[in-house]
Chains A and B, each alone.
Chain A
Amino acid sequence: MNNSPDIVEVHDLLVTFSRWGQTVRAIDGMCLKIPAGQALIVTGPNGSGKTTLLRVLSCLLAPEQGEVLIEGKPAGKLRPRDIANAVFHVHQDPLIGSVPTMTLFENLVLADEEARLHRLNRKTLAARNRSLLLPLGLAERLQQQAKTLSGGQRQILAILIASLRPAKVILLDEPLAALDATNAGICLKLIGELKKLGKTIVYVTHDLNRVELFADRIVTLQDGRILSDHPAHESQK
């Protein structure tokens, strides 16, 4: 049982879409509390509201009804910079998670808030970024553009970038979709390290087998509602 205070609270959430003239309830009266540091796995069939939930949590989508609180503050009232410092979203599409025409070095410098605050010089930054990329097999690509990486390597870079952000909540939307076993393994290791850093993880997936190493809790959605909510170890029994 996690006794940490809730970092994300979702109260009575309602999100609707209009599809072929009919109103579809993508999220239908959902309530959810996520304690700080927890790795929450959100699963469910296609159209159950998983991605919509992530979009609301990352403030990309405003709910019609209900409220999202991040660290006790209403998400709708946060400024863009505050949102960026509170929540970071890793998309399913690896191309969204970095700037293709920037080198890996530049991508890491852009995301690295701690380095910015400490005003690290270029030499220190290069050493720091090289050490970050070394265990991922990307150190020698430091000065190459991100667009030269494969899709899997781009996703590794996106998750590494998430670890450099000050955001305490990391949202991952099926980050391993379309990744081969090697790159998926590296991504899972990085996600495990995000958890060790104390980040709260909300991870959307269809594949529960891949998340058992770091999952704390599993929520299953259906038709925009929570069908089941239980600790991860219960589903493994």
Chain B
Amino acid sequence: MNSFIPLDVGLMTGLIYAWPVIAFAVAFRVLAFPDITIEGSFPLGAATYGILLKNGVAVPIALCLGVIAGALAGGLTAYFHVRFKLNKLLAGIIVVAITYTMSLRIMGASNIGLLTQPSLFDFVQPLNHLVNVRFHVGTIMLLGVLVGAVSVAAAASLSSRPGLRLRAAGANPEYARLLGVHVPANLITGLAVTNGLAAMGGILATMNQGFADVGMGQGVLILALAAMTIGEKLVPEKWFSYQSYVLLAAVIGAVVYEVLVSYALSLGLAATDLKLATAVLVLLVIALRGTKNGQLFLEDLK
């Protein structure tokens, strides 16, 4: 019976962290922007949502404002890049520093408890007790539906004409300019959307764990990289359109990664060693795929 617990935890956290993984993968693969802002927008969304909820704001409004806070952080990174010609990574580092202080200021403390506050998961609590084993069926179903809906919506948006313009702005800005695409506006919009998704992940994590913490973004970036890498190894690219492949790989990668981590922890991996294990895993997967396409990541980071 206990063997289901890591699966339960892994599926829940995987479907929650699928949000920042989608954000990172879309920014990296579609917009060619290695965006580290997700490490800041994830807790910023959680902090904004948490403090609003604590002050009596309704869940949907707090959720929307949390997402908007994350979107603003993403937009700011892109703005710094296009306005000041700042390196993409440096722009992200600056905004992560800004969001750390913002999150602290917003919460007024390093963390706030929300265990007694309402959340989206309240609606599916009865479903969690349907089976006799400890398995959060309702929560997992809700998280799955949310991730599925956002993935389908994102894939459809990226296939639409505005989505094509966004993709052109990211993948080939010089060509996009020839077509009259406003590259800076598209980059700002794109990163605002992806970081809004990352903030949504932070909000869901807050709902799940019952508190918001200023440090909850630490490790999200390496997790996203690991999940994206694993997902891309598992999902065959030729079976899907490029945007569907990126999104599906992100979701599957996040779930597989979190399930693996849960089982590894249950088998005795010390939590203190988790980041080292993740880094080794990322390198291992990259090395393995390197035998098939050695230049892939080098090209991506140009």
Contact = CB atoms under 8 A, between A and B. Distances in A.
A100 B172 contact: yes
Given A99-B175, A106-B164, A110-B164, A80 B242 contact: no
Contacts of B164: 99, 102, 106, 109-110
A80 B172 contact: no
Contacts of A83: 180
B171 interface: yes
A98 B175 contact: yes
Given A106-B159, A109-B161, A110-B164, A99 B180 contact: no
Most buried by A among B159, B165, B171, B179: B179
Contacts of A84: 177-180
Contact of B177 (A80, A110, A111): A80
Given A98-B172, A102-B167, A109-B164, A145 B178 contact: no
Contacts of B172: 96, 98-100
A116 interface: yes
A81 B176 CA distance: 11
Interface residues of B, number: 20
B250 interface: no
Given A84-B180, A88-B178, A96-B175, A101 B161 contact: no
A89 interface: yes
B129 interface: no
Given A84-B180, A89-B178, A110 B161 contact: yes
Contact of B167 (A81, A85, A96, A99): A99
A103 interface: yes
Contact of A81 (B159, B171, B180, B241): B180
A129 to B, nearest CB: 13
A157 to B, nearest CB: 11
B134 interface: no
Contacts of B29: 101
A97 interface: yes
A101 B243 CA distance: 9
A62 B174 CA distance: 16
A96 B174 contact: yes
B275 interface: no
Contacts of B241: 103
Contacts of A110: 161, 164-165, 168, 179
A58 B180 CA distance: 12
B175 A85 contact: no
A70 B159 CA distance: 34
A81 B159 CA distance: 22
A58 B178 CA distance: 9
Nearest to B159: A106
Interface residues of A, number: 23
Most buried by B among A80, A88, A96, A103: A80
B30 interface: yes
Contacts of B161: 109-110, 116
A101 to B, nearest CB: 5
Contacts of A103: 241-242
Contacts of A97: 175
B105 interface: no
Contacts of B180: 80-81, 83-85
B182 A99 contact: no
Most buried by A among B29, B172, B175: B175
Contact of A100 (B159, B171, B179): B171
Interface in A99-139: 99-103, 106, 109-111, 116
Nearest to A97: B175
Given A110-B161, A145-B242, A101 B175 contact: no
Interface string A68-101: 0000000000001101110011000000111111
A131 B29 CA distance: 31
Contacts of B179: 84, 110-111, 165
A97 B164 CA distance: 15
A83 B182 CA distance: 12
A102 B242 contact: yes
Interface string A159-202: 00000010000000000000000000000000000000000000
6 cross-chain pairs, A with B, having the tightest CB-CB distances, nearest first = A84-B180, A81-B180, A110-B164, A101-B242, A99-B168, A99-B171
Given A101-B29, A110-B165, 16 more contacts: A80-B180, A84-B179, A84-B180, A89-B178, A97-B175, A99-B168, A99-B171, A100-B171, A101-B30, A101-B167, A101-B171, A102-B168, A109-B161, A111-B179, A116-B161, A165-B179
Interface of A: 58, 80-81, 83-85, 88-89, 96-103, 106, 109-111, 116, 145, 165
